[in-house]
Chains A and B, each alone.
Chain A
Amino acid sequence: MVPDFEQNGHHGQRGATLECRTEVVSDCTVIHVSGEVDLATAPIFEKALDSAIAAPHPIIVDFAATRYIDSTGLHVLLQARARHQRAVAAAGLTPTLRRVFELTSVDRTIPLYATVAEALSRICPASTSSEVAGS
């Protein structure tokens, strides 16, 4: 399957950069988040999640290229989970980000996976290995 891409490259109000690229793999929406999620850039993250929620697919948020997320970003993610009828998962977190998710108990609502491939295999078993490798 050829993935569909939607890319949003943005600068926050105070210069912080966040880019969200959305990819559909089989029946999963994968949002690749690059940069910093904070008060200034959270609306960009929220917009990407809102677009993904419009589709009837589980959502995997790939944080492998995310350097920083604060409580604003966690709030946006939890709000999206509350509105979405399907699963929302997180993948690729750095040790610091993982600790933040665990300390705030976000991991009780948003399951964490080491990689997007692992998340896809758990949440979207229909995805093939070739599609996963290219994610």
Chain B
Amino acid sequence: MLAGGSDEEAAEVELVTGEVLMNAHCHAYRGRHGPLQLDLSHDGKKIDISIHDEGDVVDRGLNIPSTLAPGNEHRGLYLVGKLTDHVEIVHPRNARGGTTIRMVKRLNKLRWLESPLRLS
């Protein structure tokens, strides 16, 4: 796995990244092609991913739902919220529009090491 995390964490990072990219393709670019920038970094404790698009302003706003909508809408962004430790959305990100979604995921191994209930 990247950055010393587990295979499961790698799969979760792949999934949330894919969901945000798909969201940009389907909503910001409405299924058309458009530029995307992905910045990924890690500091040994967490993985930080930012995805920038230059697409349209989403009419209904953009947020990470804390509960599942009854009609199963926004399931992808709901998953993003559940599988990461922090998500922030900058929308629009400049005068031309566009969106940045930044996700931070802490590595599970470090959660265990930092736990006050750790056994000696």
Contact = CB atoms under 8 A, between A and B. Distances in A.
A39 B25 contact: yes
Nearest to A40: B22
A39 B22 CA distance: 7
A74 B75 contact: yes
Place the interface of chain B in its size category: 10 to 19
A103 B78 CA distance: 9
Contact of A38 (B12, B22, B79): B22
Secondary structure at the A interface, as helix, strand, loop or mixed, is: helix
Contacts of B14: 68
Scoring B11, B26, B78, B83 by chain A CB atoms within 10 A of each residue's CB, the highest score goes to B11
Contacts of B78: 103-104
A39 B21 CA distance: 10
Contacts, number: 43
Interface in B7-43: 8, 11-12, 14-15, 18-19, 22, 25-26
Interface of B: 8, 11-12, 14-15, 18-19, 22, 25-26, 68, 72, 75-76, 78-79, 82-83
Q: Lowest 9 A-B CB distances belong to which pairs?
A: A71-B76, A96-B11, A71-B75, A103-B82, A39-B22, A96-B8, A104-B75, A70-B18, A70-B19
Given A71-B19, A104-B78, 9 more contacts: A38-B18, A68-B14, A68-B18, A75-B72, A78-B72, A95-B8, A96-B11, A100-B79, A103-B83
23 contacts: A38-B18, A39-B25, A39-B26, A68-B14, A68-B15, A70-B76, A71-B75, A71-B76, A72-B76, A74-B75, A78-B72, A95-B8, A96-B12, A96-B15, A100-B15, A100-B79, A103-B78, A103-B79, A103-B82, A104-B68, A104-B75, A104-B78, A105-B68
Interface of A: 38-39, 68, 70-72, 74-75, 78, 94-96, 99-100, 103-105
